[in-house]
Amino acid sequence: MTKHVLIADDEPNIVISLEFLMRREGHRVSVARDGDAALQAIRRERPDLVLLDVMMPGRSGFDVCQAVRADEALAGVKILMLSAKGRDTDLAKGTALGADAYLTKPFSTRELADKVREMLE
């Protein structure tokens, strides 16, 4: 069954690779290039899952995550956070803010695909 995945990242090449990977997994993909666009897209499109980068211009991934979790209407949206910082405190912060999973960049595409599959089951 086709699921809808939103990719929120400001690095064009990372977006290209994630887009390719998610399509290959058989998902419908849309893209947001910064935090505000991501939040708008989530509210508008209600994706099944968001691949959410932490360091984005404007609203950070943490802010987006918090805003989504504060909105009960968006409770069904799964969030997988991606961060190039990968310190323990960031991981803890992401989980505390209600992210469903957290991967550090660079990530293994297989691991990411597995995780997404598991989360969408």
Residue 25 or 69: which CB sits closer to other proteins?
25
Footprint on residues 20-59 left by other proteins (CB under 8 A): 20-21, 24, 33-34, 55-58
As a whole number of angstroms, the distance between CA 95 and CA 93 comes to 5
Among 22, 27, 97, 107, binds other proteins (CB under 8 A): 107
Q: Where are the beta strands (DSSP E) in 2-61?
A: 4-8, 28-32, 49-53
**Nearest CB to other proteins, comparing residues 48 and 53:** 53
Q: What is the DSSP letter of 49?
A: E
The whole-angstrom separation of Cα 60 and Cα 81 is 11
Contact 62, 94 (CB under 8 A): yes
Residue 11 lies near other proteins (rule: CB under 8 A): yes
Contact positions toward other proteins, by CB under 8 A? 10-14, 16-18, 20-21, 24, 33-34, 55-58, 84-87, 104-110
